[in-house]
Amino acid sequence: MTLDAPYIARIALPGQFVQIKCSDSLEPLLRRPFSIHRVNGNIEILYETVGRGTEILSNKKEGDKIDVLGPLGNGFRLPRTTKIEPRAIIIAGGVGVAPLVYLAEELAKKYIKTIVLIGAKTKDLILCEKDFKKAVPEVYVSTDDGTYGSQGFVSKLFHKILKTVESRFDTVVYVCGPRGMLKCIAEICQERNFECQVSLEEKMACGTGVCLGCVVKTKSGNKLACKDGPVFDSSELLW
């Protein structure tokens, strides 16, 4: 869905999110958080219809007005310029592609060598492959059932890719997807001593850091997914 939100588009960073009031009525009551999917003067969000809020959104027509609050949260940190030969590996699982396309586009703009891995249960659920390919030449796909790309979890594909790519680069891994997958990728990164930034999805009420509903346990105590995140350094998290 494309939203005409020039102010948000101007300042939004990859990995940040917006809070959308899906309906004007009291049902649903709270806003719903959505990653900023792409930015091009407008902002785009990518969502799966899973509940009442997204169902209402899916019935919106072109030109409808929507109340959007953002950009919120802390996004991905791009590889530091002090790194000698930076390389980014983006790993997306299912709808976890949502915040990563904008990231891939920003990395490409900075000429940072980037590899993208997309995983999903089955072929139909592989999202944004074309969008990634427009930004980044190296895009690999895996499906759990083997209907498209390599067979198995995306973590298996990650292992495989690591064997083939050159190891001289200073690698930063960016990952978004289901919890189990994030943990698995984080562990691989830890073994290899790669910096790993994960984008977490939590249910939120406010999205602005006041309700304390979206707590994430970290080595330095409770953090908030909405305010301190949604992107965290995986080595900081207590899974």
Partner 1 sequence: MNVKIGKIKLKNPVMAASGTFGYAREFEKLVNLKHIGAIVTKTITLNPRAGNPMPRICETAGGMLNAIGLQNEGVDNFIKEKMPYLSKIGTPIIVSISGNNIDEFFILARRLDKIKSISALELNISCPNIRGEGWSVKGGGLVAQDSKATYEVVKAVRKVTGKTIITKLSPNVTDIIEIAKASESAGSDAVSLVNTFLGMAIDINTRKPKLGNITGGLSGPCIKPIALRMVYEVSKNIDIPVIGAGGIMNADDAVEFILAGAVAVQVGTANFIEPGVCGKIAKGIEDYLKKHKIDALQDLSLT
Q: Select from 9-17, 110-118, 188-196, 212-220 the region that touches partner 1 (CB under 8 A).
A: 212-220
Stretch that binds partner 1, among 100-108, 127-135, 164-172, 220-228 (CB under 8 A): 220-228
Rounded distance, CA 157 to CA 175, Å? 14
Q: Which of residues 65-84 bind partner 1 (CB under 8 A)?
A: 69
Give the residue with the Cβ less far from partner 1, 51 or 146.
Answer: 51
For residue 68, give both structure tokens.
């959007």
Asked if 176 and 98 count as a contact pair (C-beta separation under 8 A), the reply is yes
Q: Which of 97, 227, 228, 234 binds partner 1 (CB under 8 A)?
A: 227
Quick check: 11 binds partner 1 (CB under 8 A)? no
Pick between residue 117 and residue 225 the one whose CB is nearest to partner 1: 225
Record the tokens describing residue 174, joined without a space.
């960016």
| The one among 18, 31, 33, 128 contacting partner 1 by CB under 8 A | 31
| 178 makes contact with partner 1 (CB under 8 A) | no
Q: Residue 209 interacts with partner 1 (CB under 8 A)?
A: yes
Separation CA 39–CA 226 (nearest Å):
20
**206 is a site residue for partner 1 (CB under 8 A):** yes
221 scored as a contact of partner 1 (CB under 8 A): yes
Sequence-distant contacts of 126-132: CB under 8 A, at least 24 apart: 127/46, 127/92, 127/94, 127/95, 127/97, 128/46, 128/92, 128/97, 128/100, 128/101, 131/38, 131/101, 131/104, 132/90, 132/97, 132/100, 132/101, 132/104
- Establish if 200 lies at the interface with partner 1 (CB under 8 A): no
The span of 98-106, 107-115, 133-141, 197-205 binding partner 1 (CB under 8 A) equals 197-205
Contact residue for partner 1 among 121, 213, 218, 233 (CB under 8 A): 213
Q: Which residues bind partner 1 (CB under 8 A)?
A: 21, 26-31, 69, 202-215, 221-222, 227
